[in-house]
Structure 1
Amino acid sequence: MLDRQLQEKIIQAALLEPKSVQQQFLKLMEESGEAAQAYLASINASGNGYKHLDINATKEELVDSLLVILAILVKLDCQPLELHKLLEQKTEKWLNHQVKDE
């Protein structure tokens, strides 16, 4: 999903980020809330229509959340190969827990 150049830019930005890991976890909660708000508005959920947000706004907020997560991983010294391995392991576990239609 990420080419090497983009990966390096994300790592550079994460290393320059002045927020502590604790502050970034709080930022993640903020971004997650914004993604939820955007999605609720995009499906015209009661009380959210006035925000006039669409599915593209939801995608943007989810990417913001993803970038914060990646920044936290960088600050926790998670190297690209380690992240790749963890993603493979967790994806395999996820797939193994999916309900199979018979």
Structure 2
Amino acid sequence: MFDQQLQEQIIRAAQSEPKTVQQQFLKLMEESGEAAQAYLASIKASGNGYKQLDINDTKEELADTLLVVLAILVKLDCQPSELKELLQKKTQKWLDHQTKSK
């Protein structure tokens, strides 16, 4: 999903981030709220239409959320190979659960 250059850039940015892990978790909640708000506005949910946000705004906010998650993982010393293994394991678990639900 990420090429090597982008992966390295994300890691450098995360390593230089001055926020603590605890502060990053709070930032994650903030970004998640912004993503939800953008999505609600994009579908013109009651009380949100005035915000003039569309699906592209939602995608941007979700990208912000993803970057915060990646920054937390870097701060927790999660190496790219470890993250790949975790994602493979969790994706398989997700797929297995979907198969059992049918």
TM-score, scaled to structure 1: 0.97
Whole-angstrom distance in 2 between the partners of 1:41 and 1:67 = 22
Whole-angstrom distance in 1 between the partners of 2:50 and 2:76 = 39
Structure 1: runs of 5 or more not aligned: none
Counterpart residue identity of residue 46, structure 2: S
Whole-angstrom distance in 2 between the partners of 1:67 and 1:53 = 21
TM-score, scaled to structure 2: 0.97
- Extract structure 1 runs of 4+ deviating beyond 6 A: none
Matched residue, 1:23: 23
Structure 2: runs of 5 or more not aligned: none
Matched residue, 2:55: 55
Which deviates more from structure 2 when the two are superposed, residues 77-86 or residues 91-100? 91-100
Counterpart residue identity of residue 22, structure 1: Q
The Cα shift of 1:47 comes to: 0.1
Whole-angstrom distance in 2 between the partners of 1:96 and 1:52 = 39
Larger helix proportion of the pair: 2
RMSD after superposition: 0.4
The Cα shift of 1:11 comes to: 0.1
The Cα shift of 1:72 comes to: 0.1
Whole-angstrom distance in 1 between the partners of 2:95 and 2:55 = 26
